[in-house]
Amino acid sequence: MLLSFRFANHRSFRDEQQLNLTPVYRSGDEPEQAVRVAGVFGANASGKSNCLHALLFMRQFVLFSDREVEPGLGIKREPFRLTPDSLAAPSHYVVDLTLNGVRHTYGYVLDDERVLEEWLYHYPKNRRRRVFERTGDAYRWGEESNRGMASERVAEVTAPAALFLSTVARFGHGHAEGAGAEPLHDVYRWFRNIHSRSRLGPRLPGGVGPAWPEGEVSQRTVIELLRAADVGIVDVVTVTTTVTDEQPVVLRPSDLETGDAPLVRAVRNSPSHRQRRLKFAHRGPSGEVLFELTEESTGTQQLLGLATEAATILSDGGTMCVDEIDASLHPLLTAKLIGLFQSTTSNPHASQLLFTSHDAALLGTMDTEEILRRDEIWFTEKDAKGVSTLYPLTDFKPRKEGENRQRRYLNGNYGAVPNLSTYLFEQALVARGQVNGEPTG
């Protein structure tokens, strides 16, 4: 699980920020080390998406830095661009994780040219142990890293603009064995199990649809979300067909019985393969009718993709990041999805959901129960200099008589709302009327 994420000098965030998922309100005999859901709220262009983007940038660089960075071309990072000092300053990213019951801290610092620092610590028996520390091309190893693990050989082939962790993952089976390799591979697998989804995802191609979950429980979860969405779908049916690809083959005269035959085209069948398609049952006056995916609305397709991914993550474990979740789901559906991640029954692997939203309804209640706890709510705000800040609702003391968080947020008590100017709106309308020759009085 993700305990916290710290980052600095990324897009609209100039200074260091921390998304701290440690529970503030603990309950039960064995409270969890991290909350399972975190929602980030704020005005347009306040930095909500940039906060998730920083984590996804960190993931991308961990997974592909050893392959995507070309020598001499530098690193494609996105620092704060509104001041010259920030453009030249390094960016840094750090995650605190609990993996298999053990805390891990991994991070790195980079500029436009290379990785300046990189480190990994873990805490077996609550004592900090160094796995490795890197400053430029110099490495320091922990005791465990030197037992049965050729760390130096992996470091030698790590490019200046690549991460050691990425290189270990590529050559890990042959060069990274022993006790010191386990934290490295565990952290890498955690990054690999981060899934992201944007509201502007593409339409699902060819009617085939997303990868349908294998487990019956996951399949029922998707179907229940579709039914709850009231989009008319009552069931999902998988249809398997045999597909044979036809490939054109040019036959020359020498290939034919008559030597003077013209060039012709024939068709050669390639080996057939099985293809699984999803069809969607709608109930009508005469019974159920199956529809193709391409016949469903774009919103339903987006909902299906989100529901399928969520069901898989709940079943297998991982972290799900959704930007502007309210653009894909109705507030009641979002509340249901949040509840699935919050529940230990539907979320046995403690998977996490991180999302951004404009929907103030998620700050309220449903069936008299809070949709989000106070320590699951975060805000972003941008100042007059274009600098974004990330802060939690727990920075504000709750009112003793009870708080209507939705109303207080819309009233601006927590900040993170747009500063709307009625005067500027009116001036824009006047200017528009003048251009079009419309009367303004």
| 8 Å CB contact between 7 and 107 | no
Taken in order 315, 319, 322, 326, is the CA torsion positive or negative? positive
What confidence tier does 249 reach under pLDDT thresholds 50, 70, 90?
Answer: low
Query: Residue 103, by phi and psi: left (phi above 0), alpha (psi -120 to 50) or beta?
Result: beta
pTM: 0.84
pLDDT, residue 397, reads 85
pLDDT, residue 73, reads 80
pLDDT, residue 424, reads 54
CA atoms within a 13 Å half-sphere pointing along the CA-CB vector of 131: 27
- Over residues 187-234, the pLDDT tens digits come to 999 999 999 976 544 444 444 556 788 888 899 989 988 888 888 999
Average pLDDT over residues 178-186: 76
- Over residues 321-332, the pLDDT tens digits come to 999 998 867 888
pLDDT, residue 173, reads 47
Q: Locate tokens 């529809």: which residue?
A: 291
Q: Which is more confident, 120 or 369?
A: 120
Least confident piece of the model among 5-19, 68-82, 395-409, 424-438:
424-438
pLDDT, residue 331, reads 86
Average pLDDT over residues 429-433: 64
Tell me the average pLDDT of the chain: 84
pLDDT, residue 32, reads 77
Indicate if the pLDDT at residue 159 is higher than 70: yes
How far apart are the C-alpha atoms of 155 and 366, rounded to whole Å? 53
How far apart are the C-alpha atoms of 61 and 188, rounded to whole Å? 11
pLDDT, residue 165, reads 96
Task: Name every residue whose Cβ is closer than 8 Å to that of residue 423 and which is 6 or more positions away in sequence.
Answer: none
Strands 233-243 and 2-8: unpaired
What confidence tier does 239 reach under pLDDT thresholds 50, 70, 90?
Answer: confident
How far apart are the C-alpha atoms of 375 and 109, rounded to whole Å? 29
- Over residues 103-134, the pLDDT tens digits come to 999 999 999 999 999 999 999 999 999 999 99
Indicate if the pLDDT at residue 29 is higher than 60: no
